[in-house]
Amino acid sequence: MRPGRQLAVLGFIFVVLYLLVFFAGASGSWKDRLEPKLGLDLIGGTRVTLEATNSVDGKPPTAENLEEAREIIESRVNAFGVAEAEVVTEGNRNIVISLPGENRNLDDVGEAAELRFRKVLKGADGSGTAAVPPAATPAPSGSAAPTGAATPTPTGSASPKVTSSPSGGQGGMAPASPSATPTPSASATASPSAAAPSASAEPVPASIEEQRKAIEQKIGAAAWQAANGLQAPADLTADPSLAEKLKPFGTLSPQEVAVLPAQMQFNVPTIGCTQLDQRPPASISDPKQQVVSCEDGASKYLLDQAKVEGTDVSDADAVLDQTNAWVVSLDFTGDGQGKWTSLTREAFNNEGQACDATALGQDGKCRVAVVLDNKIVSSPEIQGVLTGNSQITGTFTQKDASTLAGQLRYGALPVTFEQQEAQNVTATLGASHLRAGLLAAGIGMLLVIIYAFFYYRLLGSVIFLSLILSALLVFGALVVLGRQIGFTLTLAGIAGMIVSLGVAADSFVIYFERLKDEIREGRSPRSAVPRAWIRARRTIISANAITLLSAVVLYVVSVGTVKGFAFALGLATVLDLVVVFLFRHPIMTMFARTQAFLSPRVSGLGRALPARNQPTQPRNPRAKEA
């Protein structure tokens, strides 16, 4: 054979690989270009556990729904601009998100992101105080002053726009007329259509009815009857004794408030936005029901059925508008555009006088609330019939707009989640793990090398050089794969590479022992090397193939860090085969031509060489007798 050819091919592979390491998608200093992507357990980051919940029956979600939710959440997380995020299912309820690098706030990625467009029917104060309010009660819109957070307002991309007339620093929300004070008389004058269909139009599940009975026992029959008798938001100034009766509603938890009828949630003034905003996910997800929601934590609104839903939105993007402000552009589907046009026409004309005085904007037009999950994103006044797409605008930062666009673009989650655990792994702890992993890998390689030199002597140098070349190949592959496919090295991956050292050592033992067998059978070292290679090659390939197959199966059926272990083990096994064929056998052929290879003390072949030479030595009967 010509060993120079195999060594030249190996050299070519190294040159190409490290050209990719230093120049393919690389930036920064030479040191930065040599750094592989490290996992959360090595450099720190954020880990969040979400538990699937169901507000009705408490049953776990189906495997299909959980996997669909995992894919949506993974898309939302990757929208942050990081491809190394890990989103996996755990058990039949949990989804675990691991994001290496800087700590991030992942509270929003688990939100259902159910988008609903609902017409605002009535408005009321949402402070939730049980005390008798002062005589001059502010209008609902007046209490919804911006708090510095993003308060986006949808605007139509086609003229006339869904805009809000700025007044008194109201920002993106159109204020109601000054005379629209939420009093019983104002609400009572609303047409009957404003109250239909109500939350009681659909059959109430038995579980919800049982919870309502438990709430009635908790707050007392008097409070429950008083709340049931309300036909409009109670005016505590007209009947101070009513405040004392309704005060127990202020002690209810958000979970308990969520099961109350929508009319009761709206009419009882002691049920405030603090309770409504903290209701469990999907508490107002039914598009066929009237619901109650808050805006800016201060204004409480009774909302109509959802005439346009998130499924009617075909795409959403965070873009800059003409004023260089970040907005979320919405593209509707064909059917969705028709629904949106119909909803804006209905609101603009206030058909059936469904919107009462407390819900009208400054120009006397109905408002449409953009409801995301349980909260109102904005509730602009409709100033015309829109036949084009829309934008959600406001004081968005790029991050806020991108987050909202990602939630809408990738769709609503089929399962609702509650955050159970949020853990930030510090970079210091990650660096400690990295040092421990590298130390373990170094010790493992050192032990193999010590054993190799002790047992095989000169042949131990072949093992040493092979391991060094394998390590360089694996390291370069990790750097390139980290840039191209986002593969991250974790402690489990380091463990897989350590295990691969044992597989590599096995192939050495097989080859060298075959070589000894050939020499014992009387062949010269030069002829024994290729014959031993032929006999050992099949065994080496079979052993590595089994290891590789195990790694592939483990990668397919496992999740989380176990995948990293399987991937690293399989990668190291493949590269070990490359070194076996392109370095180990050629270098052994070259060694067989040296004089040192014929020395038992130097070569490490032990007694194989004396056994071969013994028949050619003259016999000494005295020595035999001795």
Give yes or no for residue 116 having a pLDDT over 60: yes
On whether both 181 and 329 belong to a single domain, the answer is yes
Report d(CA 300, CA 287) in Å as an integer. Answer: 19
In the chain, how long is the greatest CA-to-CA distance? 131
Compute the Cα dihedral for 124, 129, 133, 138 and give only its sign: negative
Higher pLDDT, 205 or 446: 446
Report d(CA 309, CA 281) in Å as an integer. Answer: 17
Task: Tell me the mean pLDDT in the region 187-195.
Answer: 35
pLDDT band at residue 44 using 50, 70 and 90 as cut-offs: confident
> Which of these, 525, 570, 533, lies nearest to 551 by C-alpha position?
570
Tokens, residue 146 = 């911006």
Report d(CA 369, CA 87) in Å as an integer. Answer: 33
List the end-to-end C-alpha distance of the chain, in Å, as a whole number: 46
**Which pLDDT value is given to residue 108?**
66
State which of 58, 76, 109 marks the end of a domain. 109
**Which pLDDT value is given to residue 145?**
31
Pick from 59-63, 197-201, 271-275 the range whose average pLDDT is largest: 271-275
pLDDT band at residue 197 using 50, 70 and 90 as cut-offs: very low
What CATH number should be reported for the domain holding residue 25? 1.20.1640.10
Tokens, residue 8 = 């030249």
* Residue 596: φ, ψ to 5°: -65, -25
Higher pLDDT, 373 or 138: 373
Beta bridge mates, 554: none
CA Rg value for the chain: 36
Pick from 30-44, 106-120, 171-185, 345-359 the range whose average pLDDT is largest: 345-359
Q: pLDDT digits over 245-258, tens only? A: 888 898 898 888 88
Amino acid occupying residue 145: A
> Is residue 150 within 8 Å of 394, Cβ to Cβ?
yes
Tokens, residue 282 = 């999907």
Report d(CA 266, CA 273) in Å as an integer. Answer: 10
Q: Is residue 626 domain-resident?
A: no
pLDDT band at residue 302 using 50, 70 and 90 as cut-offs: very high
Q: Is residue 230 domain-resident?
A: no
Report d(CA 198, CA 593) in Å as an integer. Answer: 94
> Which of these, 495, 522, 399, 396, lies nearest to 441 by C-alpha position?
495
3-state secondary structure of 52: strand
Q: Is residue 622 domain-resident?
A: no
Q: Is residue 10 domain-resident?
A: yes
> Which of these, 542, 446, 439, lies nearest to 495 by C-alpha position?
439
Report H helices in 146-300: 184-188, 206-219, 221-228, 240-246, 254-258, 262-267, 273-277
**Which position has the token pair 């017409």?**
119
On whether both 128 and 174 belong to a single domain, the answer is yes
Q: Is residue 231 domain-resident?
A: no
Task: Tell me the mean pLDDT in the region 317-346.
Answer: 86
* Percentage, residues of the chain above pLDDT 90: 3
Tokens, residue 412 = 């609503």
> Is residue 356 within 8 Å of 448, Cβ to Cβ?
no
Task: Tell me the mean pLDDT in the region 4-12.
Answer: 86
Number of domains the chain contains: 3
Tokens, residue 458 = 């000169």
**Which position has the token pair 């750097």?**
479
> Is residue 536 within 8 Å of 517, Cβ to Cβ?
no
pLDDT band at residue 298 using 50, 70 and 90 as cut-offs: confident
Q: For residue 622, what is the DSSP state?
A: H
> Which of these, 469, 450, 447, 497, lies nearest to 587 by C-alpha position?
469
pLDDT band at residue 507 using 50, 70 and 90 as cut-offs: confident
Answer left, alpha or beta for residue 81, where phi above 0 means left and psi between -120 and 50 means alpha.
left
**Which pLDDT value is given to residue 140?**
37
Tokens, residue 205 = 């599940």
On whether both 394 and 471 belong to a single domain, the answer is no
**Which pLDDT value is given to residue 291?**
92
**Which pLDDT value is given to residue 205?**
67
On whether both 442 and 533 belong to a single domain, the answer is yes
What CATH number should be reported for the domain holding residue 71? 3.30.70.3400
- What does the chain come to in residues? 626
Tokens, residue 38 = 């490290």
Give yes or no for residue 79 having a pLDDT over 50: yes
Give yes or no for residue 177 having a pLDDT over 70: no
Share the mean pLDDT of the chain: 74
On whether both 433 and 574 belong to a single domain, the answer is yes
State which of 86, 109, 132 marks the end of a domain. 109
Give yes or no for residue 621 having a pLDDT over 70: no
On whether both 498 and 529 belong to a single domain, the answer is yes
On whether both 376 and 317 belong to a single domain, the answer is yes
**Which pLDDT value is given to residue 560?**
63
Report d(CA 124, CA 160) in Å as an integer. Answer: 28
| Exposure letters 575-596 (e unless 16+ CB within 10 A, then b) | bbbebbbbbbbbbbbebbeeee
Q: Is residue 88 domain-resident?
A: yes
**236, HSE (Cβ side, Cα atoms, 13 Å):** 22
Tokens, residue 245 = 């009766």
pLDDT band at residue 120 using 50, 70 and 90 as cut-offs: very high
3-state secondary structure of 29: coil
State which of 109, 124, 154 marks the end of a domain. 109
3-state secondary structure of 6: helix
On whether both 190 and 68 belong to a single domain, the answer is no
Answer left, alpha or beta for residue 288, where phi above 0 means left and psi between -120 and 50 means alpha.
alpha
Amino acid occupying residue 589: T
Pick the range with the lowest mean pLDDT from 130-134, 306-310, 576-580. Answer: 130-134
Q: Is residue 238 domain-resident?
A: no
Give yes or no for residue 475 having a pLDDT over 60: yes
On whether both 503 and 602 belong to a single domain, the answer is yes
**Which pLDDT value is given to residue 112?**
63
pLDDT band at residue 303 using 50, 70 and 90 as cut-offs: very high
Report d(CA 153, CA 174) in Å as an integer. Answer: 9
Q: pLDDT digits over 556-597, tens only? A: 877 667 778 888 888 888 888 888 888 887 888 787 777 666
On whether both 488 and 582 belong to a single domain, the answer is yes
Higher pLDDT, 117 or 43: 117
On whether both 131 and 103 belong to a single domain, the answer is no
On whether both 351 and 388 belong to a single domain, the answer is yes
Q: pLDDT digits over 515-529, tens only? A: 878 877 777 777 778
3-state secondary structure of 388: coil
Higher pLDDT, 108 or 548: 548
Beta bridge mates, 450: none
Q: Is residue 335 domain-resident?
A: yes
Q: What is the dihedral of CA 181, 184, 187, 191, to 10 degrees?
A: -150
> Is residue 172 within 8 Å of 330, Cβ to Cβ?
no
* Percentage, residues of the chain above pLDDT 70: 76
- Owning domain of residue 289: 114-198+272-398
Residues sharing a CB contact under 8 Å with residue 599, sequence separation 6 or more, in sequence order: 609
Task: Tell me the mean pLDDT in the region 197-215.
Answer: 68
